[in-house]
Amino acid sequence: MSKTLDTPLTSAEFAADVDCGAPSLREVFARHLGTVWRIARAFGVPADEADDVAQEVFLVVHRKLHTFQPSRSLPAWLFGITRNVVLMRRRAHTRRERRLSAVEPPPAPREPEASFELRQAAAFMQEFLDGLDEDKRLVFLLADVEGMTASEIAEALEIPLGTVFSRLRAARLKLEQFSQRLRARPVRRPHDR
């Protein structure tokens, strides 16, 4: 099977690139940018700031590429860097908010044009994700959106494997319950106002 730029590198492939001295940062960036962006969103980073977080993550990856251990999972390594960048940004944001508390925040950017169904589906998932606690949300997104294995998630989150399975099972059950509640609601179209 041939690899394309949107196919994530395995740890072994990444290590081979590093050992060969090949400029693998570009390939890692191309293959994992979406993953890093979605992990940032899972930590609650607004969509309009997720690109900035991803850029900061890959600046760190560039500086620390030589420290990557091939025995580690590449997705887990990127997860750890993303988590640290998000936490640093949160601390900086809190400090900035304290200094600027008297200034009124700017209005939220306008949402781009999208079909009603797409907006409705996105709102459905966001409502579901917002209802999960952060622990379950992270495990759910890493497993069901990013496709990370339970072992990779356990390594990235530094939790026991059984805890990963427990949180994932609980999140999936909540998704099913949430979906059933939504199916019971009447569908509102824009013209129903």
Span 5-31, pLDDT tens digits? 445 555 555 555 545 443 478 888 999
Structure tokens at 165: 């399975």
Q: Is the pLDDT of residue 4 over 50?
A: no
Residues 173-180: contacts with CB within 8 Å, 24+ apart?
A: 174/128, 174/131, 174/132, 174/136, 175/128, 175/140, 178/127, 178/128, 178/131
- Residues 27-45 have pLDDT tens digits of 889 999 999 999 999 999 9
Residues with Cβ within 8 Å of 68's Cβ and at least 6 positions away in sequence, in order, are 14, 15, 18, 74, 77
Domain ranges of the chain: 1-108, 110-186
For 1-108, give the CATH class: mainly alpha
Buried/exposed code over 112-145 (b: 16+ C-beta within 10 A; e: otherwise): eeeeeeeeeeeeeeeebbeebeeebbbbbbbbeb
> Which stretch, 22-26, 72-76, 122-126, has highest mean pLDDT?
72-76
**Fold designation for 110-186:** Arc Repressor Mutant, subunit A (1.10.10)
97 contacts 140 by C-beta, under 8 angstroms: no
> Residue 2: pLDDT band by 50, 70, 90 thresholds?
very low
Give the orientation angle of helix 116-131 with respect to helix 161-184, to 10 degrees: 130
